[in-house]
Amino acid sequence: MGPIQKSSVRLTGITMTILFLHAGTVVVHAAPLIHATMDNANVSGGGSGDTSVADFTVFDSSGNNLDGLATGPSESTQKVVSGQAGMIGESLQLLEASIDPGLERHVDFGDVANPVPGNGYTASLWFNPTSAPLAPALLKKGAMGSTNQGFAIDLNASSGGFVQITANPNEGIRDNRVGMRYYHILEVDTWYHIALVLDDNNDVLVGYFNGAGSGTTTVTGNHENLANGWVTAPSNVVGNGYAGGASFATDYSLNLGDRWYVGSSSKAPFPGYLDDFSVWNRALSPIEIQSLNTLATEGNLNYDAGQADLLWQVFAGDLAEVTIGNKTWQSDPALLGTPGSVIDLGAGNFGLVLDSDGVGGVTTDFVTFVLGDFDMDNDVDGNDYLVWQHDSGVGSLAHWQTNYGMNLSTVAVDAVPEPSGFVLLVGCHLLVFIYRKRLLSPDMSRRDPIRTGVDSAIIGLASLARITTANGDGEFIMKPYRHNNQRLELGPERANANVIVRLEFVEPKA
Domain-wise residue ranges, the chain: 34-280, 286-367
The amino acid that residue 156 corresponds to is: N
If we measure between CA atoms, which residue out of 300, 305, 299 comes closest to residue 275?
A: 305
Beta carbons of 32 and 279 less than 8 angstroms apart: yes
74-88, 107-121, 288-302, 408-422: least confident range: 408-422
304-337 per-position pLDDT tens digit: 999 999 999 999 999 999 999 999 999 999 899 9
Identify the weakest region by mean pLDDT among 92-96, 291-295, 452-456.
452-456
* Residue 239: φ, ψ to 5°: 140, -150
Q: How many CB atoms lie within 10 A of CB 442?
A: 9
CA distance 176 to 392: 73
Average pLDDT of span 74-96: 83
Strands 498-504 and 14-21: parallel
- Provide the pLDDT confidence category of residue 400 given band limits of 50, 70 and 90: low
Cα distance between residue 367 and residue 295, in whole Å = 23
**pTM (2 decimals)?**
0.70
Round to whole Å and give the CA distance between 153 and 254. 12
Cα separation values, 174 from 141, 148, 168, 249, Å: 16, 8, 7, 15
Classified as helix, coil or strand, 231 is strand
State percent of the chain over pLDDT 70: 62
Most confident of 165-179, 354-368, 437-451: 165-179
Determine the pLDDT at residue 410. Answer: 35
Q: DSSP code of 214?
A: -
Please, which contacts does 311-317 make with residues 24 or more away whose CB atoms are closer than 8 Å? 311/352, 311/354, 311/362, 312/29, 312/288, 312/354, 313/29, 313/31, 314/362, 315/354, 315/360, 315/361, 315/362, 316/27, 316/29, 317/27, 317/502
Q: Order of strands across the sheet with 162-168?
A: 57-58, 68-71, 106-108, 254-256, 137-142, 150-156, 162-168, 178-183, 230-232
Contact 18, 422 (CB under 8 A): yes
Q: What is the pLDDT of residue 498?
A: 32
> pLDDT: is 165 or 475 the higher one?
165
Q: Are 381 and 387 in contact (CB under 8 A)?
A: no
Residue 427 CA to residue 255 CA, distance in Å, equals: 57
Alpha carbons 490 and 464: distance in angstroms, whole number:
10
Separation of alpha carbons 204 and 179, rounded Å: 10
d(CA 26, CA 5): 16
- Got the DSSP string for 486-499? EEEEE-STTTT-EE
E strands within 52-175? 57-58, 68-71, 80-85, 90-94, 106-108, 121-129, 137-142, 150-156, 162-168
CATH 2.60.120.200 matches 34-280: yes
The Cα 504–Cα 510 span in angstroms is 19
**What are the DSSP E strand ranges found in 33-119?**
34-36, 57-58, 68-71, 80-85, 90-94, 106-108
Q: How many CB atoms lie within 10 A of CB 316?
A: 12
For residues 40 and 211, what is the distance between their CA atoms, to the nearest angstrom?
26
pLDDT tens string 197-218: 999 999 999 999 999 999 999 9
- Local structure of 477: helix, strand or coil: strand
φ/ψ of residue 457, rounded to 5: -65, 155
